[in-house]
Amino acid sequence: MLTAQEMPPTLPAPHRHADSARYAALLADLSRDGDGPAMEKLLTDVQALAYRFSLLVCGNAADAEDAMQDALLQTYKSARRIRKPDAFRTWLYRTVKNSCLMSRRTAAHEPSHVGSLDEERANEVAAAAPNPEEQTAAGEQRHRFRAAFQSLPRPYRLVAFLRDVEGLSTREVAEVVGISEDNVKQRLHRARTLLRKALA
């Protein structure tokens, strides 16, 4: 994870959408109950995560929407066969990535913004309401971080997102991206270095 020195304190702590305990319960319910409420709950739970990641990989909203829908369809078809929560999380990211790569209209597209990295949880940034000066400073820091993160080359941005924002392990990131763990570490180190320089 990014250290306190590497990530501005006004950003939300890296959050784990694919919480193992939650997915364990969902997959257990799905195995026991089949298609009913358990499947609906699982699809609802992964929808925002799938779209957020597909926007990062695909680079534009239209392809991201298509990739998210494909990931939800694949989840509906395949989730019953997945028993381990960590395996499900890795499988979902890989499914989204593959769908994006297959459907992306052009590699030249870049995300219009990366606000989704923290905007969804903006209300959780501070425990107490800051004064106007603190709000302004926090907004400026978030803007600087988003701009710095967006400026990363796509391979570095992808690894940094999975590792430092979504909380995947090095092994899981390697499985999703399709590179070795050593390459994940190298890209992550480079991404953090570039972020530190951009935010200095």
Same-domain check for residues 27 and 95:
yes
Please give the residue range of the domain that contains residue 176.
139-199
pLDDT of residue 92: 87
In a domain, 182, yes or no: yes
* Domain C-terminal end among 80, 103, 126: 103
Number of domains in the chain: 2
CATH number of the domain residue 27 falls in: 1.10.1740.10
How many whole angstroms separate alpha carbon 69 and alpha carbon 76?
A: 11
Tell me what the pLDDT averaged over the chain comes to.
Answer: 74
Start-to-end C-alpha separation, the chain: 19
Assigned token pair, 93: 């990211």
Give 2's Cβ-side CA count (13 Å radius): 27
Answer whether 0.75 is exceeded by the pTM: no
Q: What is the pLDDT of residues 31-66, one digit of tens each?
A: 777 667 888 888 888 888 888 888 888 878 888 888
Over residues 161-166, the mean pLDDT reads 87
* Helix, strand counts (H, E) of the chain: 8, 0
193 or 12, which is more confident: 193
pLDDT of residue 17: 44
High-pLDDT (> 70) share of the chain, %: 69
For the cut 90, the answer to whether the pLDDT of residue 118 exceeds it is no
pLDDT band at 179 (very low <50, low <70, confident <90, very high): very high
pLDDT of residue 114: 41
Of 46, 113, 117, the residue nearest 79 (C-alpha): 46
